[in-house]
Structure formats: C-alpha cells, structure tokens
C-alpha cells in the first residue's frame, strides 16, 4: 500500500495496515459465503477523486468499500447494488457498514433499506447519509450516525476522518475449473526431476557457465523473496540471504548477483539471479530505466549502489565497458504481485513497457513470475494444487499477459517462502518450474545469438 500523506508516521501506519489486510479481508469473505475479492479501485493509485472511483467501479456488484485511517482503523461498507452517477438512492436490504476490533468483524446492518446507497457523481462510495468515502475529491470521510445505519463513530473509525487509503473490491464466487488447464505432477519424484534438470543444466555456449536472469518488478512484489525461496529449495530449509520484507520503498538499493548452490557445501548451480531496486510509479524514485539498460548489456558491477536521480556513469568505478556474453542478461523475468495486477498504475505499465521495449531490442527472452497467489485466492491458500483450477488466478494471469504483452505461456505463478519455517513440496514444484522456464528462455537467447553469429560469419 502506498501512502497519500507524507511523513514517517504515515509510512509506518501504511505498513502496519497492509500487513493486517489479508486476514481481515479473509474474515469478510468467510462472512459473505467464501467469496473472492477482486480489487477494482485504490485511491493511492487511481486518485482520490470521484471520477477515478466511478471509472473503475460503476456497474459492478456486489462491492466492498474499505477505508484506512492513520489511527489504524479499517472500516467501510458493503452493497449488492452497482454504483452509478444518477443521484438517486438504491434500495438494498443486504447492505451494511463494518469495522474491525482486532480481527473481529463488527457489522452495522442497514436500518432503512430504501436509502442504503446513494449514487452520487461527485463522491466515492456513499452509504445513505451515514458514511461517504472520498468526499468532494478529498482523502477524507463524511460520517454521520444517521438512522439509515445506526453505528458508534468512535468504535467504527475512532473519529479519525482522514484517509490513508480507500479501496473498493468486487466480490466474485470462488470457482474452480473441473480440470486444471496446466498439467502439474504434485509429488516428490517430480520435484527431484526438476532439481536434477536445473543442477545438470549447461548453457549451449561454451564461454557461458551460468545463465544470468534479471528480476524486475515494482516495490514489494517479492523479487528478493523469490531468490530466497529458490535458494531454500536447494538448501533444504528456509533461508533469507537476500534482504526482503514489507516496506513502502525498495529494501534492495544495490544491484546484486546471487548464485545458487546444490546444498550448503554443494557446487554452484548454472544460474545467476540478478536482483534490482524496485520500480516505483513516479519518475524520480525507484530504479532508473537507463540503469536497466546498463544491466541488460552487462555494464553494471555487482553491488552497484543505485541512485534514482542519476543513471550510472560510464566512468564510474567498476563500470564494465566491454562486457562479454557471460556478463549480459540472458532472460528478463518480471515479478508481479497477483493481488495488484488489476490496479497497476498507468505509470507502472509505462515503465514496464519501456523495459520490455529495451529487452526486445536486445532480443532477450522475457517471462513473468506471479507472486502472492495464495493471498490473491483463498482456494489456492487452502490448497496450492488448486492453482491451475482457480478461475480467479487464471483471469489474473490473463490480465498480466494483456498489460505486459507477454504470452500466457510465459507467465508462471509461484508462492514464496515468506511466512512458513518448513519447506512444502507443492510450493517447491512451482518455484522449480519457474526456474526451469527461465533456463529454457536463456536457451532461446543462446540459440538466437548463435544464429546471428552464424549469419555474420557467412556474410564475411
């Protein structure tokens, strides 16, 4: 979650609220019949305006509107009626306002169903005259304990009417396909087969001993956690070599190249995962696109300290002016959060598009790794083997494909090791499958390089 307000106190509040968000939305889903929440609108991404809210949410139902304030309260309203801009009241006897005490959901049912929701063009979610989120284009709440929804204001939001963020979700059924649309063998034998393939992989060009894979993505999607998770599989226990965690800005501030070992004392595996500073929506924060170009071409040294305001200078210490093939990137992998695909900002799409264009020009194959699939879909959280039967996850993968212009066959969902202390076979299989696809993509890069070299030699 990105803050709208500035200051360390607000950053800490945002981080705290984000950490609590998943279990709270799970509680709401179970109350409403085990449904799935599809994020439609996020004020800190789309803007604190009525126009942005209506553009994202009109005609969709049922919806859950959630407000977050700096005092730590999470509150909002539910309605089965689709929003519009008619100015009229909509009847809804199932509507309610809500808040949380800890993880306990407290509901305030509508008392006068004829005035449950008002369809106002100049505001965000408008529940009777009792609660309005995004009021008159400002990150504030209008709250009045009117007869439409009797509630206790101090209990619901602590009388703090300044919003850190506002989100609107559409509720959709948690449906599974009859059969998985990708075939996966979920057993130890298949895991060992994947590990054996990776351990014995050899790049097709003799001058290259390790495939170099660049991980790129927005802040907080789990790039560093992905490396840690892959490393955990081969170490046989959960590890945290790369710095990872929850923050509103990138925890990775250096360009890092990580090698993997087959066990603690084992030999190096034939792959290097390159971690970067996270991308951010604004132009003057996060990873600079010119630094990405330098990484792709093999100019950046390990542990290079990123400076978003100034791209790497070719005269800087450690700059590799004549990189060989082994120094260059052989596969680009975009790491994205499955929970946030639907509300990716236009600026983030633009940045990812610029990177994709650079990679295309250099003829570098590209993949997408989709993280946090267990947070995005409760059915997957309950059983990871539902991953390719979950209609919601498939739709999310299709959205990622459309936004980045990358084929669905090049999108791989995974679950990182961010909470558990023990390894899980099904989690391992998804992680190893992603790494296998990266090596196969690197092979495509080597094939293309060999073809180009052969063509040049023929011309000579």
Domain chopping of the chain, boundaries: 8-173, 188-459
Better pLDDT: 216 or 261: 216
| 163-173/35-42 β-pairing | antiparallel
DSSP structure class, residue 245? -
Residue 428, SS3 per DSSP: helix
Is residue 208 pLDDT above 80, yes or no? yes
pLDDT score recorded for residue 354:
93
In this predicted model, which residue has the larger pLDDT, 34 or 447?
Answer: 447
> Of 76 and 419, which is predicted with more confidence?
76
Token code pair at residue 429 = 């299989």
- The residue that leads in pLDDT, 430 or 20, is 430
Give the length of the chain.
Answer: 460
Residue 264: CB atoms within 10 A of its CB come to: 10
Over range 305-312, report the average pLDDT. 69
**3 state DSSP class of 53:** helix
User: What does residue 6 show for φ and ψ, rounded to 5 degrees?
Assistant: -105, 160
Torsion sign over Cα 308, 311, 312, 313: negative
Reply yes or no on whether the pLDDT at 283 is more than 70: no
Residue 8 has pLDDT above 90, yes or no: no
**Model confidence over 39-83: pLDDT tens digits?**
899 998 889 999 999 999 999 999 999 999 989 899 999 999 999
What CA dihedral angle connects 199, 205, 209 and 212, to 10 degrees? -90
What does the alpha-carbon distance between residue 97 and residue 111 come to, in Å, rounded to a whole number? 11
334 DSSP 8-state letter:
E
Strand pairing category for 138-143 and 131-135: antiparallel
- d(C-alpha 160, C-alpha 156), whole Å: 10
**What is the mean predicted confidence (pLDDT) over 322-335?**
95
- Name the 3-class secondary structure at 331: strand
Cβ–Cβ under 8 Å, residues 365 and 437:
no
From CA 373, how far away is CA 417, in angstroms rounded? Answer: 12
- Class of domain 188-459 as given by CATH: alpha beta
Tell me 269's DSSP state.
E
**C-alpha angle 123-22-225 in degrees, rounded to nearest 5:** 120
pLDDT for 304 equals 78
Q: For residue range 155-201, what is the model confidence (pLDDT) as tens digits?
A: 999 999 999 999 999 988 768 999 999 999 999 999 999 999 999 99
Which range has the worst mean pLDDT, 12-26, 87-101, 393-407? 12-26
């Amino acid at each position: 979650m990105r803050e709208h307000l500035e200051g360390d106190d607000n950053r800490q509040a945002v981080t705290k609220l984000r950490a609590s968000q998943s279990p709270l939305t799970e509680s709401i889903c179970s109350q409403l019949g085990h449904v799935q929440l599809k994020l439609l609108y996020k004020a800190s991404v789309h803007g604190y305006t009525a126009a942005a809210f209506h553009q994202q949410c009109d005609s969709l139902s049922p919806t859950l509107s959630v407000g977050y304030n700096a005092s730590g309260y999470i509150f909002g309203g539910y309605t089965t009626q689709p929003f519009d801009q008619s100015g009229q009241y909509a009847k809804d006897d199932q509507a309610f306002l809500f808040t949380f005490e800890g993880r306990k959901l407290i509901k305030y049912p509508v008392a006068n169903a004829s005035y449950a929701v008002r369809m106002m063009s100049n505001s965000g979610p408008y529940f009777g005259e009792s609660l309005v989120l995004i009021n008159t284009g400002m990150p504030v709440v209008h709250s009045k304990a009117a007869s439409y929804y009797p509630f206790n204001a101090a209990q619901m939001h602590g009388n703090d009417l300044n919003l850190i963020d506002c989100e609107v979700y559409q509720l959709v059924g948690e449906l599974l396909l009859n059969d998985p649309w990708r075939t996966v063998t979920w057993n130890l034998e298949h895991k060992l087969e994947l590990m054996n393939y990776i351990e014995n992989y050899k790049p097709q060009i003799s001058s290259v001993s390790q495939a170099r894979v660049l991980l790129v993505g927005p802040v907080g999607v789990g790039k560093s956690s992905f490396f840690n998770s892959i490393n955990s599989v081969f170490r046989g226990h959960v590890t945290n070599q790369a710095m990872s965690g929850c923050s509103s800005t990138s925890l990775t501030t250096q360009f890092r190249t990580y090698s993997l070992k087959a066990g603690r004392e084992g030999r190096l595996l034939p792959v290097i995962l390159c971690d970067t500073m996270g991308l951010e929506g604004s132009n003057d924060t996060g990873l600079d696109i010119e630094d990405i170009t330098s990484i792709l071409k093999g100019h950046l040294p390990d542990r290079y300290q990123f400076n978003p305001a100034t791209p790497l200078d070719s005269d800087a210490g450690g700059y590799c002016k004549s990189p060989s093939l082994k120094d260059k990137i052989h596969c680009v992998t975009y790491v994205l959060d499955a929970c946030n695909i639907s509300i990716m900002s236009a600026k983030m799409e633009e940045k990812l598009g610029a990177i994709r264009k650079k990679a295309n020009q250099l003829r570098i194959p590209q993949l997408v790794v989709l993280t946090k699939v267990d947070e995005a879909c409760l059915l997957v959280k309950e059983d990871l083997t539902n991953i390719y039967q979950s209609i919601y996850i498939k739709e999310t993968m299709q959205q990622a494909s459309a936004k980045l212009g990358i084929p669905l066959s090049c999108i791989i969902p995974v679950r990182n090791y961010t909470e558990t202390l023990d390894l899980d076979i099904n989690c391992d299989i998804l992680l190893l499958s992603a790494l296998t696809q990266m090596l196969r993509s690197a092979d495509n890069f080597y094939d293309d390089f060999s073809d180009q070299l052969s063509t040049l030699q023929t011309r000579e």
